[in-house]
Amino acid sequence: MTERIWLSLAHMGGQEQRFIQEAFDTNWVVPLGPNVNGFENDLEKFLDEDKHVVALSAGTAAIHLGLIQLGVGPGDEVICQSFTFAASANPIKYLGATPVFVDSEPDTWNMCPGHLHDAIEDRIAKTGKKPKAIIPVHLYGMPAKMDEVMAIAGQYGIPVLEDAAEALGSEFKGRKCGTFGEFACLSFNGNKMITTSGGGALVCSTEEEAKRTMFYATQARDKAPHYQHSHIGYNYRMSNICAGIGRGQMMVLEDHIARRREINQLYRKLLKEVPGISFQTNPSAQFASNYWLTCIIVEPDIAGFTREDIRLTMESENIETRPLWKPMHLQPVFDNCAFYGDSTSERLFNDGLCLPSGPTLTNEDIKRVAEVIINLK
């Protein structure tokens, strides 16, 4: 059988082992340590804004701690993009709050500002209070229309927590994704732009928020000679070993971004003559996706085949692909939550597919993937 082509594998740049060895040599193998501080500083410099980054055990933990600091609790509602991974919405339920899901718009596949406005107005009318926070997602690396989202959020005085888990290095109007909201989450899972083998980070607007994040992430221990706790805390801090991987990964981040964009352009070139295939695309020069994953939409009536035809044929050829995210408002666990939209995300889910996009893939690998689609014509 031909060698398997994976959707998005991690790629080590070569310097990770140096930082890991340093942690072992100094016996800093526990949470916190020089690598954690160094990794946070590297991320702050990369984001190039007056932000404070706290490295954590997962992007999900980052969203959880961001929502805690926004005062979300039982009985509250939080507006969340429906077209996303469950980790965007699950922390809302951790806190006893209720997600309110908002549909996508066709240009970016991200939170539709029009539906967002309608959702806020309707929730105020129905509940007598405004939602506690808004969670837009930069899906597959594509920036959301953050100027419109932030304007609406500002109009109602609702804070924004950006889910930039898939968008490290993406930019909107020259500004890095993850720097628009009061908070933002980053993810370093194995398939993301960089990895720490697992892990994430919370991007904070103030030093005080960062210190509070560290407090909650280390079991909320009060300042006392004994173990005393006045708040519920969590074991969410990143280890010095994992952060060492992250420091090495930061050295190749720009290369990873460039390669994923090259892969996206190669797919477009190879598939441009295939009818009924379209790509998630930067709507204008104001958008600069990192193209974490190259995603296509298949129009069966034009193409003569479906998304599932491609996916199953790819699997038979030992190639991993993945349907686009199933919207949260269609998930059984959230079937009682309010939804505002026009089924854009449902159509994207039904007809969309993620293609292999990892930086370790060669041009020949990409051609092999494209040939499967071309031969379905």
pLDDT at residue 325, rounded to an integer: 98
Last residue of one domain, picked from the residues 217, 251, 285:
251
Name the helix (H) or strand (E) containing 217. Answer: helix 207-217
Q: What percent of the chain has pLDDT over 90?
A: 92
Last residue of one domain, picked from the residues 231, 251, 271:
251
| Whether residue 274 sits in one domain with residue 160 | no
Q: Taking 80 as the threshold, does the pLDDT of residue 310 lie above it? A: yes
**97 falls within a domain:** yes
Maximum C-alpha span of the chain:
71
Q: 192 is in which domain, residue-wise? A: 16-251
Distance spanning both ends of the chain, measured CA to CA: 24
Contacts of 190 (CB under 8 A, 6+ apart): 9, 10, 197, 198
| Whether residue 267 sits in one domain with residue 187 | no
Type of residue found at 77:
E
pLDDT at residue 33, rounded to an integer: 85
Count: domains in the chain: 2
Q: Taking 70 as the threshold, does the pLDDT of residue 360 lie above it? A: yes
Give the separation between CA 324 and CA 36, rounded to whole angstroms: 33
Q: Taking 90 as the threshold, does the pLDDT of residue 92 lie above it? A: yes
Between 26-30, 199-203, 208-212, 345-349, the lowest mean confidence (pLDDT) is in: 26-30
Q: Taking 80 as the threshold, does the pLDDT of residue 28 lie above it? A: no
Q: Which residues of 79-96 are buried (b: 16+ CB within 10 A; e: fewer)?
A: bbbbbbbebbbbbbeebe
Q: Taking 80 as the threshold, does the pLDDT of residue 40 lie above it? A: yes
Q: What is the CATH number of the domain that holds 40?
A: 3.40.640.10
**What is the side-by-side strand order in the sheet with 161-163?**
52-56, 200-204, 183-187, 161-163
Average pLDDT score over residue span 85-104: 98
| Whether residue 263 sits in one domain with residue 247 | no
Report yes or no: 359 and 13 within 8 Å, Cβ to Cβ.
no
Q: Taking 70 as the threshold, does the pLDDT of residue 30 lie above it? A: no
Type of residue found at 147:
D
Average pLDDT of every residue of the chain: 96
Partners of residue 162 on adjacent β-strands: 184
Provide DSSP, 160-209: BEEE-TT-TT-EETTEETTSSSSEEEEE--TTSSS-SSS-EEEEESSHHH
| Whether residue 220 sits in one domain with residue 348 | no
**Tokens in use for 84?**
């996303």
| Whether residue 274 sits in one domain with residue 235 | no
**193 falls within a domain:** yes
pLDDT at residue 329, rounded to an integer: 98
Of 49, 45, 40, 41, nearest in space to 174 by CA: 49
**What is the side-by-side strand order in the sheet with 175-176?**
175-176, 171-172, 287-288
Q: With left for phi above 0 and alpha for psi between -120 and 50, is residue 221 left, alpha or beta?
A: beta
| Whether residue 177 sits in one domain with residue 44 | yes
**212 falls within a domain:** yes
**1 falls within a domain:** no
> Global pTM?
0.96
**10 falls within a domain:** no
| Whether residue 175 sits in one domain with residue 98 | yes
**Tokens in use for 149?**
């989202």
| Whether residue 258 sits in one domain with residue 121 | no
pLDDT tens digits along 259-293: 999 999 999 999 999 999 999 999 999 999 999 99
pLDDT tens digits along 101-126: 999 999 999 999 999 999 999 999 99
| Whether residue 203 sits in one domain with residue 333 | no
Backbone angles phi, psi at 46, to 5 degrees: -65, -40
pLDDT tens digits along 231-261: 999 999 999 999 999 999 999 999 999 999 9
| Whether residue 350 sits in one domain with residue 235 | no
Report yes or no: 78 and 131 within 8 Å, Cβ to Cβ.
yes
pLDDT tens digits along 50-89: 999 999 999 999 999 999 999 999 999 999 999 999 999 9
Q: What percent of the chain has pLDDT over 70?
A: 99
| Whether residue 270 sits in one domain with residue 215 | no
pLDDT at residue 356, rounded to an integer: 98
**Tokens in use for 302?**
């034009």
| Whether residue 305 sits in one domain with residue 355 | yes
pLDDT at residue 48, rounded to an integer: 87
pLDDT at residue 27, rounded to an integer: 76
